[in-house]
């Protein structure tokens, strides 16, 4: 004979569970109130022109081997005012800086031998709080990401080179213009000198004639003594 006892027991358990989860309306104030703190990263005045996940290595000259710097996100950041672009990479968990340097004119990046997902470059890095010459190697999850990074890196370096050439040309043009102005002023002074000399000679002649005329009149005014 069938019995309904298991169903009743199951229903009782559900009702008991529902009662346990029922909201009593009581409010518990937190023991410690945490206030929001503004966190600055130093990137507030910069815009990201590249943002890719990767793993970074640096070459240890003493040990003669590659050592991992960390896994995270590599960024190329352009400053809103100066227009300069720097490479910054932070570890994903700790946000510790792995690399931090400007991308300058003359810098090159090339594919790492035997690995199409990796590339290498030299830089004067400031990640440890002081400038150091570093050889970096970065590895991406795909060949496409590696090519994207290399292409953007090269574009920035070439752009910086063009800026330097333009500045040099502008400085040279300014120097030539300054020299031209100075030469013109020198010529004008040279042309003015004869006129001033003539005026000076005329004034000296007049002064001499006046003095001579005065000397001639002195005997007539004095007359012979008795």
Q: What digits encode the pLDDT tens for the residues 39-80?
A: 677 889 999 999 999 999 999 999 999 999 999 999 999 999
Percent of the chain whose pLDDT exceeds 70:
63
pLDDT value, residue 226: 42
Q: Report the C-alpha gap between 173 and 213 in whole angstroms.
A: 61
What Å distances lie between residue 158 and 82, 86, 155, 163, CA to CA? Answer: 17, 14, 5, 9
Q: What residues form DSSP beta bridges with 220? A: none
pLDDT value, residue 189: 65
CB 125 within 8 A of CB 146: no
**For the chain, how many residues are written?**
226
pLDDT value, residue 216: 56
Instruction: Find, among 55, 52, 95, the residue nearest to 74 by Cα.
Output: 52
Q: Report the C-alpha gap between 97 and 87 in whole angstroms.
A: 11
Instruction: Find, among 109, 116, 112, the residue nearest to 151 by Cα.
Output: 109
Average pLDDT, the chain: 80
At 15, give phi and psi (nearest 5°): -65, -40
Instruction: Find, among 123, 122, 121, 118, the residue nearest to 146 by Cα.
Output: 118
Q: What digits encode the pLDDT tens for the residues 180-226?
A: 777 776 666 656 556 566 566 657 766 766 666 666 555 554 444 44
């Amino acid at each position: 004979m069938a019995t309904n006892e298991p169903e009743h027991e199951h229903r009782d358990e559900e009702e008991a569970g529902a009662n346990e989860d029922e909201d009593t309306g009581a409010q518990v104030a937190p023991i410690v109130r945490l206030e929001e703190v503004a966190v600055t990263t130093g990137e507030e005045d910069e815009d990201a022109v590249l943002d890719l996940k990767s793993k970074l290595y640096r070459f240890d000259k003493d040990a003669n081997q590659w050592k991992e710097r960390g896994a995270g996100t590599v960024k190329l950041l352009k400053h809103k005012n100066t227009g300069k672009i720097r490479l910054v990479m932070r570890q994903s968990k700790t946000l510790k800086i792995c690399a931090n340097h400007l991308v300058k004119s003359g810098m090159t990046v090339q594919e790492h031998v035997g690995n199409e997902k990796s590339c290498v470059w030299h830089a004067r890095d400031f990640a440890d709080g002081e400038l150091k010459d570093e050889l970096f190697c970065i590895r991406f999850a795909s060949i496409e990401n590696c090519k994207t990074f290399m292409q953007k890196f090269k574009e920035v370096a070439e752009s910086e080179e063009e800026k330097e050439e333009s500045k040099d040309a502008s400085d040279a043009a300014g120097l030539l213009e300054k020299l031209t102005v100075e030469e013109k002023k020198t010529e004008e002074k040279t042309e003015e000198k004869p006129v001033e000399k003539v005026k000076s000679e005329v004034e000296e002649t007049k002064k001499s004639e006046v003095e001579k005329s005065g000397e001639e009149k002195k005997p007539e005014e004095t007359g012979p003594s008795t």
